[in-house]
Amino acid sequence: MRNDPAVTLVWLVLALPLAGFLLNGALALLAPQKKTVVSVIGVGVLAAAFAVAVAAFAALARGHTAEPAILTYWSWLPVGALRVDFALQVDALSTVMLLVVTGVGSLIHVFSVGYMREDPGYARYFAYLNLFVFFMLILVLGANFPVMFVGWEGVGLCSYLLIGFWFNERINADAGKKAFIVNRIGDAGFLIAMYLIFQHTGSLDFRTVFSKAPALLAPGGPAVTAITLFLFLGCTGKSAQIPLLTWLPDAMQGPTPVSALIHAATMVTAGVYLVVRCNVLYALAPLSQTVVAGIGALTALFAAVIATKQWDIKRVLAYSTISQLGYMFLGVGTGAMAAGMFHLVTHAFFKALLFLGAGSVIHAMHHAFHATRAHEDAQDMRNMGGLKQHLPWTANLMWVATLAIAGVPPLAGFFSKDEILAAAFARGSHDAAWYGFWGLGVATALLTAFYMTRLMLYTFHGPNRTGDAERAHLHEAPWIMTGPLVVLGVLTVAGGMLNAPPLLGGGTWLHHWLDPVTRAAAALWPAAHLAPALEWTLLLGAVLVAAAGIAVARSLLRPDALVPARLAPPETGLARVLLKKLYLDEIYDAAIVRPITWLSTEVLWKIVDLRLVDGLAVNGAARLTRTAGWLGSRLQTGNVGVYVAVFVIGVLAVLTAATR
């Protein structure tokens, strides 16, 4: 398998998007109006990369070896005892991520051709999108921490570029900056963790670190706990968990396909990928596992609560993403790596479907308002309603995704969510805190079903609030946009088969596929098993919870009582607190941003920079020199008598020194 051309040519999967970026970037600068060429390049490189990914996957499957194929290209950082090469690793985990990124990415690229058709920055958009895929693939294919970090930083950069794509408006530029800066805080954690790993194991290669870790790092000891916690800090930044989650809702300022690709399917899952990649380290640190799972569960509930009262369709989906990422971390924190990855893959399918569907809706709403020259918010659900008549395909496909995310069998989301919750419950017998996490997960599932149903009811059902003149212009999206929706719909339905549990007759294929990567961790921390009866109970309980959520939503919510956004009365009380996302941004601003700004201005600038550095060091040195010069000039009197006296003093000094 090592010498299989499909594996050795995996560098193509990097080169193709990079070439796409360069070509589209050149076109953006020189001939931005040639949209067809841009489309062909942009989509073509992704489709070709997907083909290479499939070939690599097939080669790996054929190879029947558990050893990863590590392809080293050049020696990047040979510094003292540290040897870091630019190397790519083709193994079970990276091929799964490869397929998800290139596959879902290709579909989103196709969708973007239709969605961004009228945008003047078309070429620039595809250039950035290709660049993003390039960096994301470096992240998942890296064979050592620094290469992965290059990808990690690169996707952060592209996220900034794409969120602030329409940078002419201040709010978009601010959102891009916020995303980048909050990510950087997490990246500091990643860097510290990298340093600690090097300090304790002497290497930064995945293979070396993970094989040596059980011997070099004391299980449960301070070193491995520190490393894993700092890595998780990076994950909270990249995957928008507590405390660094505030950037993701604001990131919805970017184009909707960007939200689908980056903030649903790929970039935000990088944190989960990192934890799965470092599963050996996490298996050695039970405290960190509790922290990861706990924060994941808390974030899941927190975001779900906020999502119940958001009016912007994309905000609801953003909080939903944060919530589902919380589930993934709950899964990998429990040690059920395959369950977490399973949910990552299924979530990529249905969340991308939801976002692209929302994109179709927003596209239609924009057209309607543009045609009547109205200035209403095209993303506010209060301006929608009854769109099922106008966008039937989108509506039905989004219902499929909604049922999946709510956890209705036999759709994909049911299997993955259930596996995570079962794993959490199983670990409860070992450590009671996990029962609490399981409880949080169940509450979140209820709320998920609720708010997703709410979204569907307000958007597609009930009376239409868009306006009489606009209604005539509402129409279904063109096939170039609806096509990818269909493909994602099929994947959402069928995706559950990837890892169906043996209880229901499935073969847990993904679990077996990922075994070479997770084997070491599983040896250190064997997964707990539930009795079949208990497992059936939990399964049925999950279905009931999902059904309950949908039923409550249908009975409680009154789409016909809604009023268009412009006329809607402002929210009060609890609704207002939830709409304002529990004032989290305001709290961060008061508690962290303002004190730091005060510190920078009052202390670091006025005192340290102006007084100490400028005043004392720079001006003070000049003043000292001038004073010394003035003193020296006092000696130049022209009076020979003085000169003679000084002369004699000098002679005395020399004599004294010479005779000591």
Partner 1 sequence: MGEVLDTVLAFFGWLGARETLFWAFSGIAVACAGMCITRRSPVASALYLVVTMFSLAVLFALLDAQFIAVLQILVYAGAIMVLFLFVIMLLNLGRPGPSDLKGPWGLGLGAALSGLLLLQLGALGAAGPPEAIQLPEGAVAALQAQQGVVGAVARPLFSEYLIPFEITSVLLLAAMVGAVVLAKRRL
Partner 2 sequence: MTLLGPALAVSAVLFALGVAGVVIRRNVIVIFMCVELMLNAVNLTFIALAQRLGIQGHVFVFFVMAVAAAEAAVGLAIILAVFRHRETVDLKDITLLKG
Among partner 1, partner 2, none, residue 610 binds (CB under 5-8 Å by kind): none
Nearer to partner 1, 633 or 656 (CB): 656
Q: Which is nearer to partner 2, 168 or 633 (CB)?
A: 633
Contacts of 512 by beta carbon, 8 Å cutoff, 6+ apart: none
Q: Could you give the C-alpha distances from 488 to 322, 348, 349, 356, in angstroms and in order?
A: 20, 9, 6, 10
Q: Which of the listed partners (partner 2, partner 1, none) does 656 bind, with a CB threshold of 5 to 8 Å by partner kind?
A: partner 1
> Residues in the site for partner 1, rule: CB under 8 A?
641, 645, 648-649, 651-652, 655-656, 659
638 binds, among partner 1, partner 2, none (CB under 5 to 8 A by kind): partner 2
Cα distances (angstroms) measured from residue 186 to each of 132, 235, 593: 19, 7, 16
User: Judged by CB, which is closer to partner 2: 573, or 632?
Assistant: 632
Q: Which residues bind partner 2 (CB under 8 A)?
A: 636-641, 643-645, 648
The listed partner (partner 2, partner 1, none) that binds 555, CB under 5 to 8 Å by sort, is none
The smaller minimum CB distance to partner 2, of residues 81 and 640, is found at: 640
Considering just the CA atoms, what is the radius of gyration of the chain in Å?
30
* Residue type present at position 31: A
Here the tokens at position 182 are 């909050």
Residue type, 246: T
For tokens 């794409």, the residue is 162
**How far apart, in Å, are the Cα atoms of 38 and each of 17, 41, 125?**
13, 5, 10
Closer of 610 and 651 to partner 2 (Cβ): 651
> Which residue number, 36 or 639, has a Cβ lying nearer to partner 1?
639
Select from partner 2, partner 1, none the partner in contact with residue 625, using the beta carbon and a kind-dependent cut-off of 5 to 8 Å. none
Least separation in angstroms between CB 629 and partner 2: 14
Minimal distance in Å, beta carbon 626 to partner 2?
A: 18
The residue type at 286: P
Taking the complex as a whole, the smallest distance from the CB of residue 647 to partner 2 amounts, in Å, to: 9
Count the Cβ atoms, other than its own, within 10 Å of residue 326: 29
Nearer to partner 2 (CB atom), residue 582 or residue 644: 644
Which is closer to partner 1, CB of 3 or CB of 659?
659
CB of 652: closest distance to partner 2 in angstroms? 10
- The minimum distance between CB 646 and partner 2, in angstroms, equals 11
Furthest CA-CA distance within the chain: 113
Residues 6+ apart with CB under 8 A from 394: 357, 360, 361, 387, 476, 477, 482, 485
Q: Cα–Cα distances in Å, from 235 out to 146, 186, 370?
A: 16, 7, 40
Shortest approach of partner 1 to residue 651 CB, angstroms? 8
CB of 655 to partner 1, least distance (A): 5
For partner 1, give the closer residue by CB, 216 or 655. 655
Number of neighbours of residue 524 by Cβ within 10 angstroms: 16
**Shortest reach from residue 653's CB to partner 2, in Å:** 14
Q: Which residues contact 168 (CB under 8 A, 6 or more apart)?
A: none
Between 80 and 641, name the residue whose CB sits nearer to partner 1: 641
CB-count burial class (<10 Å; 0-12, 13-18, 19+) for 489: buried
36 binds, among partner 2, partner 1, none (CB under 5 to 8 A by kind): none
* Minimum distance, C-beta of residue 649 to partner 2, in the bound complex (Å): 10
Distance CA 147, CA 143 (A): 7
- Cα dist. 386→368, 449, 463, 475, 551 in Å? 15, 20, 5, 12, 19
How many C-beta neighbours within 10 Å does residue 487 have? 16
Q: Smallest distance, Å, CB 632 to partner 2?
A: 13
When CB distances are held under 5 to 8 angstroms depending on the partner's kind, the choice from partner 1, partner 2, none that residue 659 binds is partner 1
The listed partner (partner 2, partner 1, none) that binds 3, CB under 5 to 8 Å by sort, is none
Q: Which of partner 2, partner 1, none binds 168 (CB below 5-8 Å, type-dependent)?
A: none
Which listed option, partner 2, partner 1, none, makes contact with residue 636 (CB within 5 to 8 Å by class)? partner 2
- Least Å distance, CB 602 to partner 1, is 54
349: tokens are: 């399918």
**Residue (66 or 655) nearer to partner 1, CB:** 655
Please report, in angstroms and rounded to a whole number, the separation of the first and last CA atoms in the chain: 82
- Euclidean distance between CA atoms 319 and 14, whole angstroms: 31
Distance CA(571)–CA(39), nearest Å, equals 44
Residue 569 φ then ψ, to 5°: -70, 150
By a kind-dependent CB cut-off of 5 to 8 A, residue 534 interacts, out of partner 1, partner 2, none, with none
